[in-house]
Amino acid sequence: MVTARLEVVSTMGDDEQALVRSARAGDEDAFAALVRRYMGGLHRVVARMLGDDEEAWDVVQMALVRAWQKLDRYDSRWRFSTWLYRIGTNLAIDVARARASRERAHEAGGLRVVASQETPAQRLEASEVERVLRRLALGLSPQQRAAFILREVEGLDTAEVARVMGCSAATVRNHIFHARKALRSELLRRYPELAPGRQEADHAV
C-alpha cells in the first residue's frame, strides 16, 4: 500500500496542539476534550460505512481506546482528526470485511436473507435519494465505500482522504471512480424511475 506523503499541518489550532501534548503526557481530561470534538463526526462516517448505528458506536469506542493507547505513535504533522479517522476507518473496513465473510459462509450453507417486500416507490417515499445511496453503498468494497463517503458525503478533499486511508491520491480517485460507476449502475437497475429523462418521458405520455 502506498503511504500518502505527510505534510506539515498549519491549520491545527494552538489549543488543539496543547490538548494533544497534554493527552500524550497522560492527561485524560485533555484527551476527553479531543474526543468531544471528533467523536460525532467519526461516528457519522463509520455509521455510513456499516449501515448500522449501534455497530458504529462499538467501532468508535474501539477507535478511541486504540487512539488513547497509541498516542505515543501520533505524528503531529497530521491533523489529530485525520489520525483518528484513519484508525476508525480501518476498524470499520475490518468489520465490513468480516461481515461479508460471514454472509458468504451463510450463503454457502444454504441460508438466504429475506428481501424487503417494499416496492421501490415505497422505499423512495421518505427522503429518498440520499437514503437509497447509503443503502447501495453497502454493496461497494470497503475501500470504495470509505473513499466515497469521506470524499462525496463528508466533503474531505482527495489529499485528506488519502491521508485518512493511508494510500495515494490516485488510489482514492480510482476508488471513487469505480464507486460512482457501481452506484449508478445499481441505482438504475433497482430504481429505473430515477434514470435521467425518465420523469420527462412519463410527463410526456
In order of their start, the domains of the chain are 10-113 (1.10.1740.10), 115-195 (1.10.10.10)
Q: Which residues contact 44 (CB under 8 A, 6 or more apart)?
A: 154
DSSP assignment of 53-116, as one string? HHHHHHHHHHHHHHHHHTGGG--TTS-HHHHHHHHHHHHHHHHHHHHHHHHHHHHHTT--PPPP
* Residue 4 reports pLDDT greater than 70: no
What pLDDT, in 10s, does the model give residues 99-117? Answer: 765 655 444 443 333 334 4
Closest CA to 24 of 68, 61, 77: 68
* The predicted structure's pLDDT at residue 192: 75
Q: Which three cell numbers stand for residue 104?
A: 458468504
Taking the model in full, what pTM does it have? 0.66
- Given a cut of 50, is residue 123 above it in pLDDT? no
pLDDT per residue over 51-79, tens digit each?
888 999 999 999 999 999 999 999 888 88
Q: Is the pLDDT of residue 34 over 90?
A: yes
150 DSSP 8-state letter: I
